Amino acid sequence: MVCQCCGMPLEDATTSREPDGAFNEEYCKWCYTDGNFVYSDQKELTDFLVAHMANENWPPEQARAYFEAELPKLAHWKQKKQ
């Protein structure tokens, strides 16, 4: 299972919850919090991910290209396009 917004692998500790406390197994707790999505568009999420994931072994340009190619494949962003 991966977050359908950012692609992060999901575990119990990282899985989001609905306002009533029930698990929402579609998203991580950083993308979906208290029944609301944190990121309003792909560019905003991509900018955040590149800033936090790029490093000396994975330069920002490479990280950006990866996220720009992979995020549109996730259910959340597919739904937003429709």
Q: What is the mean pLDDT of residues 45-65?
A: 97
52 assigned to some structural domain = yes
30 assigned to some structural domain = yes
32 assigned to some structural domain = yes
Q: pLDDT above 90 covers what percent of the chain?
A: 93
Q: Report pTM.
A: 0.90
How much is the mean pLDDT over the chain? 95
- Given a cut of 90, whether residue 6 has pLDDT beyond it is yes
Cα–Cα distance for residue pair 42/67, rounded to 1 Å: 9
Owning domain of residue 68 = 15-81
- Given a cut of 80, whether residue 41 has pLDDT beyond it is yes
Domain count, the chain: 1
User: Which residue matches tokens 């990280």?
Assistant: 63
- Given a cut of 90, whether residue 82 has pLDDT beyond it is no
At residue 15, the pLDDT reads 97
User: Which residue matches tokens 């290209």?
Assistant: 65
